Amino acid sequence: MHHKFTPQTRMSDLIDEDAILLSTISRFGISFGFGDKTITEACAANNIDTRTFLSVVNFITDGNVELGEIVQDLSIETVINYLKNGHSYFLFYKLPSIRDKLIKAVDSSDQSIPYRQVFIRFFDEYVDEVRKHMEYEDRTVFPYVIRLLSGKNEGKYRIAVFEEHHTDVDSKLAELKNILIKYYPSKGNNYLLNEVLSDLLLCEKDLATHNRVEDYFFVPVIDAIEKKTNKSHE
């Protein structure tokens, strides 16, 4: 199957393709300042497995993955680090930043008093939902996968349990965005509110991409490893 990005693609071309890939690069731990380095060169300089990086990036852009081609050669630990870095970004940087801007935006309006508490409570409840979702993955799912890879897993947990209960954490963020757009009684130009909405739109897309990698890349790969492991034990 032909993929958009190859080991010879310049790393800078990823960013030109889609702004979401900017955060992808960062979550893999690849430092900026890579100039005209190819993906292979930039990954090598940052001790990142090139095949794994390309598999995730091409999945994000192509929307599919052929497991038979890649499972054997993927660094699952690298994928887990990528996902965990995404969790840290959302919980400790992006969502707190949006919250601060949201407070300033509603405080800047004379009509904000009846709405401020509602919006902030809605947002805080959403962040709490995201935190529980991501902490479950960090504390239960990822350690399980590491044990599976090491051959030390003796429990009854399976990746299907995670898949069954995995929810889209971006949907409630979209709801807040729509409430602000349709019902917030802003007067004139509220540049702060515009900035909040822009951040919400980008964060919603970013979270959706993150979820898609988990649901349609990570879960099928781990499922394939489980089946191979179980077959070898028969």
Helix (H, G, I), strand (E, B) or coil at 81: helix
In whole angstroms, give the CA distance from residue 154 to residue 151. 9
In this structure, what token pair is assigned to residue 153? Answer: 């897993």
Divide the 234 residues of the chain into consecutive groups of 10 and give the mean pLDDT of each group: 83 85 92 90 94 92 67 88 97 95 75 71 91 94 93 80 79 80 70 88 90 91 84 56
> Cβ distance 70 to 55 under 8 Å?
yes
In whole angstroms, give the CA distance from residue 123 to residue 196. 12
The residue to which tokens 């822009």 are assigned: 198
pLDDT at 70: 63
The residue to which tokens 């081609």 are assigned: 69
pLDDT at 114: 67
In whole angstroms, give the CA distance from residue 189 to residue 183. 15
pLDDT at 120: 86
Helix (H, G, I), strand (E, B) or coil at 36: coil
pLDDT at 52: 94
pLDDT at 50: 95
